[in-house]
Structure 1
Amino acid sequence: MERWCTARRCAGTGQARRPVPVRLAAVSAVLATVVALPGGTALAAGDAPGGYGFAGNAPRVEGASGTADAPLLKPGTAYRSALPRSGTVHYRLELDTASDAHVSVTAVPGPGDEVTAADGIRLTLRDTGGGSCSLDTATFGAARSPRPVTAWAVRELSPAGTRCREAGTYHLTVERTRPQDSPPDTWELELMTATEPAPERTGAATAPGAWDSASPAPLTGEAEPRRGGSGFARATTVGQGSWRDGIRPGQTLYYKVPLDWGRRVYASAELGGTGSGSGHAPAALRLALHNPVRGEVVTAAKGYTGRQITAGLAPVPPVSYDNRYSTDSRAGGMRFAGDHYLVVHLAARVADDFGDGPFPLTLRVRLEGRAQDGPGYAGESVPKGLFEVPDGGRVAARGGATGGSTAMRAVAFGGIGTGSALLVGLGVWTALLRRRAA
């Protein structure tokens, strides 16, 4: 057991007292570590500054070249993998007959990769007999900026469907959409699998009713500082309000918005003007909304000429279980309660004409609708609580921001300010010394 002493030597032990400044330095270092976590943007070891923040402790799996050796993806676990330029990588899932399954794949190219508008990734999910259950692509678009792109595959147990309903082994394939034009380097992947239980109620599928597609008046007022996260797993929680940040060319920022059943979100991103430089960067500012399984719902993009611009998302309907039966892709994506994500990207080529930034960014979020009861699931989702909004999330949705992760809780503490936090730590340390001395 370690002894604490107030004299130069511990009485009766002959041991030299450890200098207090060493411990003070340790306390200061710990506190500095805590307050240096800016809203979930802290990077794990191996993450480059400004790069994608992968989920912490995600196991790495190697996609197989064929289905026979495809590694298993377990629901509720985030995985890291890699995608070569040519060829298809295969993964497998073991699915039952009681739950829908959702798989998202985020591909992260290198920051210096030269990509084309049509380049990106393609996901295909096939059933036990090889039939296609789902197909989705995600491309870099007109900005041709290397950024994280996310595609979403789903196995649905629709009452009206007849395919992909059996229990057994399903296979997910991931490939590049334009390998002949794609950069030669391997892309890092983040894969996430989730299951959604069936509702307790049974019956025929019900198409959603009409919804108001008019855009409300944008929020105004002073924006509060809120640092965006570097990935889905590190997204910063925000609610209704205006949030201020800075963004550099080539950077992607992630924000998390809790949405309950019956609630809807409107959002826009504003990029400030610059006093120098000239030119035009097409589709430079991109804003996207993703649902709780990371599926992309709606996007907006604006070119940049050095003047202030705003990219506003088209309206989406309130969250409803029945939205999955809509023929409107925007409505179909708003099928779950839970954390939704606003993803902002600034094209890398902005730096060519206007410098490296950072450029002032304002994210405006408006929430509407009254929270309602959900569908009454017959079981638990995996991961648990994925399609729910906890009480803390409801507080954030009413206008504040709350910590949905350890990093965010650290931010709440760090919000006291570095000086105040150090004073608290030093006060505790001084009290301990006095108590020991007594």
Structure 2
Amino acid sequence: MGRRTGWWRSRTVLTGVAALLTVVAPAGRATAADPPPPYRFAADAERIEGAARSTDAVRLTPGSAYRSTIRDDGKLYYELRLDETSSAYVSVTAVPEPGTKVVYSDGIKVSLQDPDGHKCFSGDAGAARFGATESPRPLTAWASRRAGPGTYTCKGAGTYSVLVERTSGSGSSAGDWQLELQYVSEPALRQAAPTAAPQVWDSASPQAPEGSARTRAGGTSFNEARSLEPGVWKDGIRAGQTLFYRVPVDWGQQFDASAELGPASGDGFLGNALVVSLHNPVRALVDDADTGYGGTRQRAALKPLPPVAYENRYAVDDQVGGMRFAGWYYLAVHLGAGMADRFGDGPFELTLRVGVRGAAGKAPAYGGATAPREVFEVTAGDRDAAASGNAATGGDGGASNENLAMKAVAVGGIGAGCVLVLGLAMWTVIARRRAAAAVAQGTGPGADGTAARTYGRPRGR
């Protein structure tokens, strides 16, 4: 009976170990991280359908995010209800599926129309195209209704329409694109402000930050952009991937940034490999830069930009006009999918040099609340996030889910190892007790003072 009891205990221990190992590494779950999605949409984004006619459009709420879908060469309408004094900004990020075939002219256009169907002027910022990289990635276009002095159209209150159009060239894929829409409302000022953009500002190319690079992994979208403070940062980027970062820039401060792609072995030259884009707090494109790549270190740097000022909105130049708010500024860095054919999938060494110059100035006196709140402010919490590296969604954001998954695998491996060691230790204790019990009963090895050649084999058999 004693031998059976020892065997039963041993089997019980092994069963427990197997169960624990199953908890640590469930069957069917990959031990390596799955590739991250091309874009992580806002967790609270409401799923809506765009309408084929403006009269059937769903109304958007200021401060909210939405998800939708647009087909090949599609046109979709959404609705806004605007007063006479608030400015409205609508951004649309289009996300093709990985592996989608896109050509130079493929992209999206966004425009606003007043109750009479007239388009509100928003310069050339209403269109975004894939351009020479011809590499699928998240594309963001925007449109606005600017209230206040100096505007000649779209000044009245009423029901406005947001029109989103997808443009497709011959040879591109016809699959659906996912959309993320964001609507930001800006109240009027309490007092009149200058209505002309500053004519004089320091437009000299800044000295790029130097020093040791610190590691921070970028996010996959505006919603999970990794927070940065001024300095030198390093990351890894794969062919076809887009990484997002964000930097707080206050009123009166100047922002500058560059992205460098490190050396790699391979063959050939890719004319448009690395693209870096800067978006302001309403996700409107401010500026972008790109560079080719032939295996040696290459750099793409943004043009010198003016200090953040409310009156920049009156500038003719889109780069100046984009620097009209304080708040989080976003860097989107894309590595062309064509890199894989010449230099492999990566990851490739990515270095960001980020500068914010000047002291924070006085904020304009808004006559009401923005939606979302504090979108045009730099708070103490924002500065803390930039210093610690928190992502837009909070937490360590550190990294992308790919890195988090690797951490989980590591933790799981440590846990599994501990469980296995514990199980083996228990097995050894039980085995020793079985041997001792057998000797005491005169049936085990060593009971006659000699050692048995086969462990656990009773004498006389």
Q: If the length of structure 1 is used for normalisation, what is the TM-score?
A: 0.81
Residue of 281, 286, 293 corresponding to 1:297 = 286
**Counterpart residue number, 2:372:** 383
Task: Quote the offset at 1:25 in angstroms.
Answer: 10
Q: Is 1:90 paired with 2:77?
A: yes
> Which residue of the other structure, out of 255, 270, 273, is the alignment partner of 1:284?
273
1:348-363 maps to which residues of 2 (within 5 A)?
348-363=337-352
SS of the residue corresponding to residue 138 of structure 1 reads strand
Report if aligned partners of 1:241, 1:364 keep a CA contact under 8 Å in 2.
yes
How far apart, CA to CA, are the structure 1 residues paired with 2:91 and 2:389?
25
1:29-178 maps to which residues of 2 (within 5 A)? 49-134=36-121, 136-178=126-168
- Distance change in 2, residues 1:409/1:272 (3 Å): closer
- 2:173 matched residue in structure 1: 183
2:72–2:167 contact (8 Å) kept in structure 1: no
CA contact (8 A) 1:302 1:310 kept: yes
TM-fit CA distance, 1:406: 4.6
Q: Distance in 2 between matches of 1:203 and 1:240?
A: 30
Following superposition, the deviation at residue 207 of structure 1 comes to 2.6
Kept after mapping to 2: 8 A contact 1:160/1:204: no
Contact 1:316 1:330 survives alignment (8 Å) = yes
Separation (CA, whole Å) in 1 of partners of 2:363 and 2:66: 29
Q: Distance in 1 between matches of 2:262 and 2:202?
A: 31
SS at match of 1:171: strand
Match of 1:306 among 280, 295, 311: 295
Q: Is the 8 A contact 1:119 1:181 kept in 2?
A: no
CA contact (8 A) 2:91 2:141 kept: yes
Q: Is the 8 A contact 1:159 1:204 kept in 2?
A: no
- Counterpart position of 1:403: 390
Contact 1:393 1:402 in 2 (8 A): no
- How many angstroms does 1:162 deviate by? 2.6
Farther off after superposition, 147-156 or 168-177: 168-177
Is residue 256 of structure 1 aligned with residue 243 of structure 2?
no
Pick aligned residue for 2:258 from 262, 268, 289: 268
State the secondary structure of the residue aligned to 1:387.
Answer: coil
Alignment match, 1:430? none
CA contact (8 A) 1:85 1:182 kept: no
Residue 383 of structure 1 and its aligned partner are, at CA, apart by 0.5
Q: Please give the residue correspondences for 1:193-208 in structure 2 after superposition, counting only pairs within 5 Å.
A: 193-202=183-192, 205-208=195-198
Residue identity matched to 1:347: G
Give, in angstroms, the shift of residue 178 of structure 1.
3.3
Alpha-carbon contact 1:258-1:394 (below 8 Å) kept: yes
1:15 match: none
- The answer to whether the Cα contact below 8 Å between 1:208 and 1:325 also exists between their aligned partners in 2 is no
Mark the CA change 1:70 to 1:331 in structure 2 (over 3 Å): closer, same or farther: same
Greater CA deviation, 126-135 or 365-374? Answer: 126-135
Provide the secondary structure at the position in 2 that maps to 1:51: coil
Q: State the Cα deviation string for residues 212-248 of structure 1 (Å, max 9, x = none).
A: 1111221222111100000001101001011111000
Alignment length, in residue pairs? Answer: 382
Question: What residue identity is the alignment partner of 1:247?
Answer: I
Q: Secondary structure of the equivalent of 1:324?
A: helix
Task: Give a deviation string over 1:52-107, Cα, whole Å, max 9, x none.
Answer: 11111311111011112111111111111011002311111111122100000000
**Identical columns (%):** 48
Q: Tell me which residue corresponds to 1:230.
A: 220
**Partner SS, residue 382 of structure 2:** helix
Aligned CA RMSD, in angstroms, stands at: 2.7
Q: Which residue of 2 aligns with 1:337?
A: 326
- Aligned partner of 1:318: which letter? P
Corresponding residue of 1:368: 357
Q: Find the counterpart in structure 1 of residue 304 from structure 2.
A: 315
Q: Is 2:310–2:324's contact at 8 Å kept on the other side of the alignment?
A: yes
Letter in 1 for 2:253: R
Given the superposition, is the C-alpha separation of residues 241 and 90 from structure 1 closer, same or farther in structure 2, using an over 3 Å criterion? same
User: Contact 2:214–2:233 at 8 Å: present in 1 too?
Assistant: yes
Does the CA contact (< 8 Å) of 1:201 and 1:376 recur in 2?
Answer: yes
For residue 133 of structure 1, give the secondary structure of its aligned residue in structure 2: coil
When residues 114 and 316 of structure 1 are mapped into structure 2, their CA distance, relative to the original with a 3 A threshold, is same
One-letter code of the match for 2:317? Answer: D
Q: Quote the Cα distance in structure 1 between the aligned partners of 2:151 and 2:245.
A: 35
1:317, distance to aligned residue in structure 2 (A) = 0.6
Does the 8 Å contact 1:85/1:179 carry over to 2? no
For 1:379, what is the secondary structure of its paired residue?
coil
Q: Which runs of 5+ in 2 are unaligned?
A: 1-15, 26-32, 416-461
Q: Tell me, yes or no, if the aligned pair for 1:222 and 1:242 is still in contact at 8 Å.
A: yes
What does the per-residue CA deviation read over 1:359-382, in whole Å, with 9 as the maximum and x for residues that have no partner?
Answer: 011111011011011111111100
Q: Any idea what SS the aligned residue of 1:239 has?
A: coil
1:5-20 aligned at under 5 Å gives the runs none
- Counterpart residue identity of residue 208, structure 2: P
Change (3 A) 1:186 1:318: same
Structure 1: tracts of 5 or more residues without a match: 1-18, 30-41, 427-438
Equivalent pair of 2:58/2:78 in contact (CA under 8 Å) = yes
* Alpha-carbon distance in structure 2 between the residues aligned to 1:418 and 1:63: 40
User: Which sits farther off after the overlay, 53-62 or 176-185?
Assistant: 176-185
C-alpha separation in 2, matches of 1:125 and 1:351: 39
Q: Quick one: distance in 2 between partners of 1:370 and 1:25?
A: 56
Residue 401 of structure 1 deviates from its aligned partner by 3.5
CA 1:327–1:177 in structure 2 vs 1: closer, same or farther (change >3 Å)?
Answer: same
Q: Which amino acid aligns with 1:282?
A: G
User: Residues of 2 paired with 1:181 and 1:168: CA distance?
Assistant: 41
